[in-house]
């Protein structure tokens, strides 16, 4: 059974989320602020997803994401009253996987959680779970990636993008195709979200010494070369 960690400083919101999630068959744990959420994530690896409020005392959601991504690729759903595109992009760039704006409908929340868990528990499967590409090593079983021995921490979406690219070198993917292949029918963002994830993935690969494998093909999309 999946266990969802809720991090929100407002007890009524935590209780509301618990009602929805427990009613849908999930187990739930909770944290009242970002510091407590980090502590629980560091001590426990059994959480399937994190629902994270943006505005919290001591440490806001954006800082929590940055720190979580130093050691975990757990799917993260941002929960916030902010609805500006710029803020959403900032969240994606820092490592969030999806976004729900308050107030939200229960059906939407559960659908987004299900989509995150589906991507996280159903990675691309092969007989051999290891992929190699010019110094880049990807282990699909543990969902880890290394370049010449140097590890890189990737989000669920970044990892799935990388696997897709490595499996189809030289193929040009439009943004729409990437959305279909990686996020699927549940995706409700726009094409700029793809650009944000690609930019983040490029930066992380560069940080461990990898060359820029992902080429922008102007007017068409992206290509792994």
Same domain, 173 and 104: no
β-pair type (3-7, 49-53): parallel
In which domain, by residue range, is 139 found?
130-224
3-class DSSP state of 164: helix
pTM for the full predicted model: 0.57
Residue pLDDT, tens place only, 123-146: 333 335 778 777 788 888 888 888
Picking from 90, 121, 152, the residue at the C-terminal end of a domain is: 121
pLDDT computed for residue 121 by the predictor: 46
Residue pLDDT, tens place only, 159-189: 999 999 988 877 788 898 899 888 887 777 7
Same domain, 99 and 148: no
Q: What CATH number should be reported for the domain holding residue 70?
A: 3.40.50.2300
Same domain, 106 and 40: yes
Picking from 65, 90, 121, the residue at the C-terminal end of a domain is: 121
| Residues in the chain, overall count | 225
Give the phi and the psi of residue 85 in degrees, each rounded to 5: -60, -40
Picking from 77, 97, 121, the residue at the C-terminal end of a domain is: 121
Mean pLDDT across the chain: 85
Number of domains in the chain: 2
Same domain, 77 and 152: no
Q: What CATH number should be reported for the domain holding residue 211?
A: 1.10.10.10
195: confidence class by pLDDT, cuts 50, 70, 90: very high
Contact criterion met (CB below 8 Å) for 4 and 21: yes
* DSSP structure string for 69-136: TTT----EEEEES---HHHHHHHHHHT--EEEESS--HHHHHHHHHHHHHHHHSPPP-SS-EEEETTE
* DSSP structure string for 179-214: IIIIIGGG--S-HHHHHHHHHHHHHHHHHTT----E
Same domain, 37 and 101: yes
Residue 156 has pLDDT above 80, yes or no: yes
Same domain, 115 and 9: yes
Side-chain-side CA neighbours of residue 138 (13 Å): 23
Same domain, 89 and 43: yes
């Amino acid at each position: 059974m999946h266990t969802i960690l809720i991090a929100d400083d407002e007890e009524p919101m935590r209780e509301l989320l618990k009602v929805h999630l427990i009613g849908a068959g999930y187990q739930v744990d909770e944290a009242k602020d970002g510091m407590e959420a980090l502590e629980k994530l560091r001590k426990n690896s059994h959480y399937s997803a994190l629902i994270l409020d943006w505005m919290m005392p001591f440490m806001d959601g954006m800082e929590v994401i940055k720190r979580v991504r130093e050691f975990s690729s757990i799917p993260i759903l941002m929960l916030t009253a902010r609805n500006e595109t710029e803020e959403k992009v900032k969240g994606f760039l820092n490592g969030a996987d999806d976004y729900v704006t308050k107030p939200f409908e229960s059906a939407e929340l559960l659908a987004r959680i299900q989509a995150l868990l589906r991507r996280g528990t159903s990675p691309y499967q092969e007989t051999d779970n290891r992929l190699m590409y010019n110094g880049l090593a990807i282990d699909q079983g543990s969902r880890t990636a290394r370049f010449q021995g140097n590890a890189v921490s990737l989000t669920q979406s970044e990892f799935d993008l990388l696997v897709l690219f490595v499996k189809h070198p030289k193929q040009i993917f439009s943004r729409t195709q990437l959305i279909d292949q990686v996020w699927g029918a549940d995706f409700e963002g726009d094409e700029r979200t793809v650009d944000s994830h690609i930019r983040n993935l490029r930066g992380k690969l560069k940080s461990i010494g990898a060359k820029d494998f992902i080429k922008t093909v102007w007017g068409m999309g992206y290509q792994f070369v």
